[in-house]
Amino acid sequence: MTSRLERPKWRFWLPVIAASLGACSVAGEPTPDIQTARDQLAAGDPLAAQITLDRVMDEGTPRSELAALMGEAALANNDLVSARDWLGEGAFSPATQVHGLRMLAALEIREGDTQAATDALAAALEADPDDAALWVDIARFRFMLGAQAPAIAAAERALEQGPDHGPALLLWGQILHDREGEAIAADWLARALEKRPADQDIRLELAAMQLDAGDGDAAIATLDGVEGDYRDEARANLIRAVHATREGDLVAARDWLGRYMADARDTAAALLLSAVLDMAGGKHDGAAQTLANLADAQPDNRTIQELLAYALARAGSDEELVERYGAIAESPNGSPYLRILVARSYETLDQREEAASLLDSDSATASPLSIMVPGENSSASEFRGSIRSALLAGRYELAVGYGERYVRRFPNSAGPRGFMGDALLMAGEKRAARASYAEAAAIRHDWPLVLRRIAAQDEREASRQLLRSFVAANPSEMQAAALLADAYAAVGNWRLAAQLLDRAIAGGMGRVPWVLAARSLAAGQLGDSEAQLQFAIAAHDLKPMSPQATAALIAALPPDALAERAELTAKLDSISGS
């Protein structure tokens, strides 16, 4: 699950600020021209706003009355020099002081001066501690700094001060996405949209979440409900492009993507979707080139890794695939799907021993690392490395000690509590691990954390309940759906297990051997022998040395296939005994 709050460091400020202009704390009503400028900024037309404000200034309006809005317009036009001229001195009228200080904070963030941004927000808070828009800015600033718990507290304060304030409602929906899941967040935003049907930011975020949750028709209906044109037309076009791609309408998808790229030509999202469309149209060479550029820019992005590996395999570029991803596939960081693709390329290149070593094992054995000792001022990555190295070396108590220091160093973030839970779990302290994981989940509850929480449970029903609630809240997490299916199969609920496995397969897990093997077993239990054999063959073809796939194929063979059953049984005995 991708976080809705992990955004570039300043880009999210501009739409939030523009949308909140109508709720700024000002004394008295603005003049008609100033209100026009505010409306133009909120509509995403800063150039028109600047022209309007220039005219107002020519008519003799004091600079201090216009500085905040002029600075806002300059920021929206990416003119930081002009923004500094208008905002830098902090010379704002009493009616525009809070707004001006918020703009100054946004400028400082753009220029990378977090201390100056902190000072500006603190001054604004002193001027008006009840301004909902200000509390939204504070919350987003804290998220940017990694102070997640105080950020959530600030978002709660924003809602208290402005229960119908659009940016506060939007921010809380994004927080719910990270804490509770996309379904719950979408419900929240749908209710928020009922309060504010003209709020385009809420409408676009809701549509994106509905699309993430697999309800593309609802996403398009949400988009179509807007009155007039979108201020952020590019984002609306991207949502439509993704939906058309999922529906298999590649012509429409290309059309919507072209419209999106006219406004946002070089975004990673557009390039990724373009590559997917190229692959759907059989243009694997072009897709591989696009994905290679993305992979170079985001080397740790597993989705891009797997898509590039697939494109290279389909393009016949087996040598490049092995060269780029062979080492990763052999390491613990390689995904099962990546290992399958690399192994097949090894087979194509007639390097069968390398292929067998990948297909016969689920992951490479981790090599021991020297234990790194973190200092009191170590970075988050240094703490994580120290905890991992201690765990790999079996020094669990040492890892717990590092975890405690990590939490003290970064007390307001989910990550340290998750790592602390890992150390406690490996040390055998399951109850304490569960408590630490729960603290992390109160800030951000994603799929990797759910897996760790399941491992820390003493009762199977508690594990199943965690899975059920997560799958219900996050329908796009197909790994979770597949694992829940496995849990239902264990208690004999094969019909529900089959439904969940079908959902996982349709959602992208159709080339995961154990999922196909499990679906084969479910088909057998439900009396569908034809589907049982088809799924078993597909699983075995993907990973011939998989015990699950081999056992599923043995169970699916017709009664008269005695020779095949004997051969597979002997192979399964060999695999299980190795």
Six token digits for residue 104:
């100054």
Sketch the domain layout of the chain as residue ranges: 266-359
Q: Is the pLDDT of residue 574 over 50?
A: yes
The DSSP letter of residue 334 is S
pLDDT greater at residue 200 or residue 364: 200
CA gap 518, 482 in Å, rounded = 9
Site of tokens 């133009």: 40
What does the pLDDT average to over 479-500? 93
What secondary structure does DSSP assign to 165-192, as a single string? -HHHHHHHHHHHHHHT-HHHHHHHHHHH
What does the pLDDT average to over 52-62? 91
Query: Class of the 266-359 domain?
Result: mainly alpha
CA gap 204, 300 in Å, rounded = 28
Give whole-number Cα distances, 466 to 187, 209, 372, 424, 457, in Å: 20, 22, 34, 20, 10
* Contact yes or no for 200/226 (Cβ under 8 A): yes
What does the pLDDT average to over 19-40? 65
Six token digits for residue 230:
């979108």
Return the pLDDT at 99.
95
Residue type, 457: Q
CA end-to-end span of the chain, whole Å? 36
CA gap 263, 232 in Å, rounded = 10
CA gap 163, 129 in Å, rounded = 16
* Of 241, 244, 210, 245, residue with least CA distance to 225: 210
* Contact yes or no for 268/237 (Cβ under 8 A): no
**In a 3-state reduction of DSSP, which class is residue 331?**
coil
* Contact yes or no for 487/463 (Cβ under 8 A): yes
CA gap 355, 365 in Å, rounded = 16
CA gap 147, 93 in Å, rounded = 32
* Window from 244-258, 322-336, 429-443, 528-542 with minimum mean pLDDT: 322-336
Average pLDDT over the chain reads 87
* Contact yes or no for 537/553 (Cβ under 8 A): yes
Return the pLDDT at 519.
96
Six token digits for residue 283:
């243009």
Q: Is the pTM of this model over 0.75?
A: yes
Q: Is the pLDDT of residue 540 over 80?
A: yes
Six token digits for residue 507:
């959602």
> Hey, how many other C-beta atoms are within 10 angstroms of the C-beta on 282?
10
CA gap 71, 50 in Å, rounded = 9
What does the pLDDT average to over 112-124? 95
